[in-house]
């Protein structure tokens, strides 16, 4: 009896060890899911925060899934056809900015003066070139202007009136600030003291040439101070891409992401600390940010096909699409609430 139990137990030990390794690696951690893709792939997010089931009806949740799936399809189809990764990032960010479900572009939140101010950034993991804009009030698609800053100036970040003066020399669309306002956001503004929200949209891709790219766009925090700039246009805080690390786009309480240089920190843990992407993300989000009560999450993908979404909040609008390495099958998934 004892001998049989010992033999059975010896068979179970490797299984227990395997499960333990998976848990430590974050595969089963709350707020983290890891992937490994073969070939081009895309991850997107639409903001993180107090996103709970009781706050969304089934119909509204279905709308978010549909919106996320539409962007995943747009991005992956472009990658599958061999499109440049930066072109895909900007196209997907533009689609998210045009969708009033999200806090970027149309449907963005108000500052404390009832005005919408928008930020965005993009980064190329191969060249480390980057472009960013902050405090925009009249540019329909900030991600497109961030791309122009990267491609057509010697700078990385342009802000406010200066950014919009530059925009006049570029083929980008101007709109009145009222364009961004929606009835839902007006209602939120009227009660923002009790309903402070964060929100950002982001895209990371691995293209057919094995390069990674990242981009992020946001309206910032509801009721933020006029002129406040969050993490999104700060390269290394909310956005970073490096072929020797990963492409990362963040969402959450931006001040914590700036103080901790979150997007770059994840890369640094990989590049110089020898961590895998999922490990670096887990440590940064669950250890570093949790210790400071910093709320939010990130998406990331590395040139070897490793990818993750990781968040410490109640939910994050998110999705991923690509061919899974272990099955060879095309996988597409979206999610909202904590898993």
d(CA 305, CA 204): 12
Of the candidates 150, 108, 105, 109, the one whose C-alpha atom is nearest the C-alpha of residue 129 is 150
Q: How far is CA 166 from the centre of its chain?
A: 26
d(CA 40, CA 307): 12
Is-contact 170 146, C-beta < 8 A?
no
> Token pair of 172, please?
């980008």
Using CA of residue 126, residue 103, residue 256, residue 313, what is the dihedral sign? negative
Cα atoms found within 13 Å of the Cα of residue 294, Cβ hemisphere only = 24
Is-contact 337 314, C-beta < 8 A?
yes
Of the candidates 68, 113, 106, the one whose C-alpha atom is nearest the C-alpha of residue 183 is 106
> Token pair of 27, please?
């595969």
Give the position of tokens 């891709």.
Answer: 205
* Residue of 73, 94, 169, 200 with catalytic role: 200
Of the candidates 2, 12, 8, 33, the one whose C-alpha atom is nearest the C-alpha of residue 306 is 33
Q: Is residue 200 among the annotated active site residues?
A: yes
Beta-sheet strands, E only, within the chain = 32-49, 118-124, 130-136, 157-159, 200-206, 212-218, 239-241, 247-252, 296-301, 306-311, 315-324, 330-337
Active site positions, annotated: 200
């Amino acid at each position: 009896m004892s001998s049989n139990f010992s033999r059975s137990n010896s068979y179970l030990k490797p299984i227990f060890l395997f499960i333990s390794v998976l848990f430590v690696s974050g595969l089963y951690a709350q707020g983290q899911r890891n992937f490994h893709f073969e070939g081009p792939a895309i991850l997107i997010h639409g903001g993180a925060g107090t996103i709970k089931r009781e706050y969304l009806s089934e119909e509204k949740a279905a709308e978010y899934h549909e919106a996320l799936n539409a962007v995943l399809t747009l991005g992956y189809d472009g990658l599958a056809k061999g499109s440049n990764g930066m072109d895909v990032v900007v196209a997907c960010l533009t689609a998210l900015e045009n969708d009033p479900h999200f806090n970027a572009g149309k449907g963005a939140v108000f500052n404390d003066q009832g005005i919408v101010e928008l930020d965005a950034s993009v980064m190329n993991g191969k060249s480390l070139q980057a472009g960013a804009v902050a405090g925009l009030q009249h540019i329909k698609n900030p991600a497109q202007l961030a791309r122009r800053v990267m491609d057509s100036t010697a700078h990385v970040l342009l802000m406010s009136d200066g950014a919009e003066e530059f925009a006049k020399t570029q083929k980008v669309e101007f709109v009145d600030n009222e364009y961004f306002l929606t009835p839902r956001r007006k209602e939120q503004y009227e009660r923002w003291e009790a309903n402070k929200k964060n929100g950002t949209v982001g895209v990371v891709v691995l293209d057919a040439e094995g390069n990674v790219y990242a981009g992020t766009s946001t309206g910032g925090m509801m009721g933020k101070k006029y002129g406040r700039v969050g993490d999104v246009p700060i390269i290394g805080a909310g956005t970073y891409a490096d072929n020797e690390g990963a492409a990362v786009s963040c969402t959450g309480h931006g001040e914590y992401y700036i103080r901790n240089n979150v997007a770059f920190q994840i890369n640094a843990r990989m590049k110089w600390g020898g961590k895998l992407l999922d490990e670096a993300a887990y440590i940064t989000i669950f250890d570093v940010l949790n210790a400071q009560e910093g709320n939010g999450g990130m998406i990331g993908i590395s040139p070897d096909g490793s990818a993750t979404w990781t968040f410490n909040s109640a939910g994050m609008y998110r999705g991923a699409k690509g061919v899974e390495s272990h099955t060879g099958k095309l996988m597409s998934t979206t999610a909202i609430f904590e898993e």
